[in-house]
Structure 1
Amino acid sequence: MLGIAAAVLFIVAFLIHVTETSTDVVFGPTSLMLLGLAFLALHLAGVGTGWAARGRGRGRRR
């Protein structure tokens, strides 16, 4: 989920940069890019993936 959020932030930052839209300093292309990189780093670190359900797996058959 964080990977998708990072992709959306990169797209928004790119569109703001390309169209040269005047925005607030907080929502500038550079700050959105850095936020997207932080989300991408969290995604790659495994944060937000949820817990994996543990199944019985393949045990010995009797």
Structure 2
Amino acid sequence: MLNLQLLPGAISEILASVAETGRLTQGDRYGLLAATLDESLGEEERRAVNRLLRSVQRGRVQWA
């Protein structure tokens, strides 16, 4: 099994970066992957991850 650990504050950093650039970097994508696999992720952070993923689906955020 893959052992991914999300760094504290990573979701906030990803949100700030995407708000500034409108793009998700490869590192951001790995962070989102780790977040989706993290069972201890708080409800607020999980909602933020879901908003980011929906924004990608709708074309508001681009893959870098």
**Fold conserved (TM > 0.5)?**
no
Structure having the larger proportion of residues in helix: 2
Q: What range describes the TM-score normalised by the shorter chain of this pair? A: 0.3 to 0.5
TM-score where L is the length of structure 2 = 0.40
